[in-house]
Every structure is written in C-alpha cells, then in structure tokens.
Structure 1
Amino acid sequence: MARNVNMERALSICDMQGHIWEPGGSNFSLPGVPKVILGTGYPDLWPSLTCREPLDITKEFSFDVISGILSDMRKIFPFELFHLGGDEVNTDCWNSTLHVKQWLQERNMTTKDAYQYFVLRGQEIAISKSWTPVNWEETFNAFKSNLNPRTVVHNWLGGGVCPQAVAKGFRCIFSNQGVWYLDHLDVPWEDVYKADTSDVQQTIWPRAAAAAERLWSQRDATSTGNVSHNVLHRLEYFRCLLNRRGVPAAPVSNFYARRPPIGPGSCYEQ
C-alpha cells in the first residue's frame, strides 16, 4: 500500500554574481534558505580591492572556489535543487577593472556576454554534482534560449514570468516578494495572510498546453493551417479534463488569460 509523505526540504543558495560580497552578513530573506557569501575573506576573487563584485571572471580560481563550496554543500543538502542566484548583477566593475576589461576585449565579449558565461559555468558545475540549478528570473530574461534545459526559473519581480518559462519548457518557482519577503519590514501580517495566490493555475493553464503540443510533438503531428479549427477542440477538451481533476484552468477563449468564466455554462464553451 502506497503512502504519501509530505516533507519540507531546505533549498540552499550560493548567490552569484550579484550578492557575493555583503559586509556584515547576508541580507537574503527567504525563510529556510541558507546562503553562502562567496566574496567575504577571499580577496583573490575580487576584480580589485576597491571593486569586489561580481567575482573576477578572468580567474579559474573563481570557479574552483565555487566548485569546492558546492561539493561541500552537496554532502549537507541532498535535495535535488540548488539555487545559484544570478539576480541584481552590476557588471560595471568588470568594465572599470583594467585586466578584466582587457580579458573581455580579447574574447570579443561584452559584460552581458560575461554575465551569461558566468551563469552557464555555474550551472555546469552544479549539474556535475547532480544538482538541478535554480536561477533568478533575470537570467531567463537575459538569455532564456541559452539556459540549461534543466534550469528552474525563480520568478520574484512580478507576474508573467512563470507562464513564459513554462512555455519554454522550464520549471518555475513563484515568490510573492511584495508581501512574503522577510526584509519587507513595513508589511503587516494581515497583508501576508491575505496575499492572493488564487490565480497561478489559471494564468498557466490551458495556454501552456498549446506550447506543450508544439514542443513535445513530432513536427508532422502538429496541426497546421487553420489552428482555430484543428487545435481548438483539443484544448477545450484538455481544459475540461483539467477542471475535472481539480485544476482551475481558465477558459480557452479568454482574451485575458486568467479571467474567470462569464457565467454558468459548459467548460467547452467558456
């Protein structure tokens, strides 16, 4: 007899590149998420003594340190997911540090290219240690087509990113940073309690099914021509199936994705 067991797991984060040096400790504020601050105590990781983040991308030592930290943390955190950060990265330091700027010029790279290079190297390291990488949404917004397909996108800035990420084949975590971040000290508990979480499923479904059919089907099996005639009935059926299974998928014909049905009626028609 099978038995479902609900377990809470700790998701650890090694926040790169935007928060690698934070004097006085971490300002990271998601409950239950331990954080490593890479830059503190490692001057060799800094581009210069006066410009301490992002990490010095020209040094293989930077990636050796990351690999060593992730190896140690793998022994502590058996959970599948590992958060690699990637938000709020200010790349001015790379342009203002002579040897880093020269390194970029020799490789015909911009600071945006360097940001992507660093994130993807970090993902490779995490995957080599049997982790699934989680990255903040800025990485998805900047170079979604180059992220590792196993990436879990972490949406925190506002709505709309998770549906886009899911449509691209990624998994997504949604965080309501407006009221659920612990460093928002001016938010009263009543607002935390009343935060609206009711429209996530309606936002995703059934639109994600349209992307799924195109992305996960053989090309010759997908409908062409008049898709409203050829595809619509399948999406309507799938939406009804989701509703019967308890998923509050929105009407297929909605102009605004998560708008509720206009009134009583068949799930095929509204």
Structure 2
Amino acid sequence: MTALARGGQPPRNPPGGLAVRELTVTLDRNPVVRGVSCAVAAGGWLSLIGPNGAGKSTLIRAAAGLVPYQGAVLLDGADVRSLRARERARLFAYVPQEPVLPPDMTVEEYVLLGRTPHLGYLGSPGRHDRNVAAAALDRLDAARFAARRLARLSGGERQRVVLARALATEASVLLLDEPTSMLDVGHQQQVLELVDGLRRDGGLTVLSTLHDLTAAGQYADELVLLHEGQVAAAGPAAAVLTAALIGTVYAARVSVVTGADGRPVVAPLRPRPDTGARG
C-alpha cells in the first residue's frame, strides 16, 4: 500500500483496492484539494491527517461522489466517475462527521436505510434486506436496542448504529470522516476497534480522517498528512508522525515516542516557562 506526494511516482493501483489520482477539488473558486494521489489495498486502512482546513473531509466527500472533482477515483482499477449515484452508493459507505439521526426513528428503521441503494424506485425492504440489517446490528452488538428511538442513544451507541447502517450497505469501501469526534476516550477506542474488526474480518477497505494523531498511527496501516490541500508526507506512521513534520504543518511543539506496540505516541509540549528575572 502506498501514498505519495504530488510530483513523486504515482502509486500503482492496489489489487482490489482504492486509489485516488491527482485529485483536485475547487469549492467557491477556492482550490481545497490540489493534485492529491494516494492508494490503499483491499482490506487496508489509510487515514488522512492534517490541521483544520487541510482538505481531509473534502477528499473523503469527493471519493463518495458528493462534490465535483478533477482527477480520478479508482476502485479495483476502474474509474468510478462513470457509475450512477445508486451504483456508487453500493460500493462506498460514507459516514460523515455529524450524521443526521431522525430522533423519532428506531434503530432498526435507521439501519435499514443502508439498504436503500439496493432497492428499486419506491421499493421497500424485503426479507433479505431485513436479514442484512439484522446481521449488521448483531455484528456491532446493537441488536439489543434495535427497537429504541435514536434520540435515546448514548454517544457510543449512536456511533455503533451509524456504522451498522454503513455495514448494511454491503459496500466494499468504508469512508469515515472523523468517526470519533465528540466521543470520550473510552468510546473512541471502542469505535476504532469496531472499525478495525470490520476491515480485518469482513475485508472492508477503510479511508478515514482522524484528528487524534496517536490513534491514527495506532490503527491505520499508512497515513497521508495533508497541508493546504496537498500531501506534505505519506507512509507508515513512524515516517509521518515526527516532531519535525508535526511542528512544521501544525505549528505545534510535540514529543514523539515509541509506544509499547511499536507505534508513535504524540504528546503536546507546553512552552518552557520564562525563567528570566522580572523587573
């Protein structure tokens, strides 16, 4: 699995995987993503990191077909631009930062919405669709509150249900935009473990954005560091999560040490106190 900056050798199409080629997105005449190329093999996890406004969410939305772009998004080596929206929705399950959860809808009804790309015009879910949705709820340990209204879910339960809906799509690629935002550290870990289990056991390919640099380095196979819409660095966590790169891109002082699992752990450093004499 490779991810290279613009101007380097373009990554080859990974077998059965997802590749982005020279992707450029312009919104309101402002170039938000500029010539980004990256790739992730089938069953792999590639995470986009970078400061606010770097273009991470826009790249995810472009891969989902939600914003116009130049360049190419390839799945199994085929350009997905020619696909109809419904066909694309069968291949890509997109989970936004703040998914809309109708408060009066039940968990079961919401997860069934994941079957929409497979239904005909004005079609209604059949037995197979309900079985797929039920299996997704079971997989994410959410079947026990299938009849509960969405408004009554905790933060961690909401994320499980949103992932269950994505899983019910039976897509091969999971696009996650900050899946752990607004969750405490315990729920963050639970959600990331769930995603990791889905891609390891179910063969899902994951493209995500993550703000937590340590978590990104722990869970993703490779990272792409975006800055002002371009690739600043790409590769395994140890190569990307360095104090020098983080200091340059984030304008932050951090320490980077190797954790017990052999992956980088990033911690902020406070400025040194002024020890000079005060007049």
TM-score, L = length of structure 2: 0.33
Larger radius of gyration, structure 1 or 2? Answer: 1
Q: Which structure would you say has the larger RCO, counting Cα contacts within 8 Å and 6 or more residues apart?
A: 2
TM-score, L = length of structure 1: 0.33
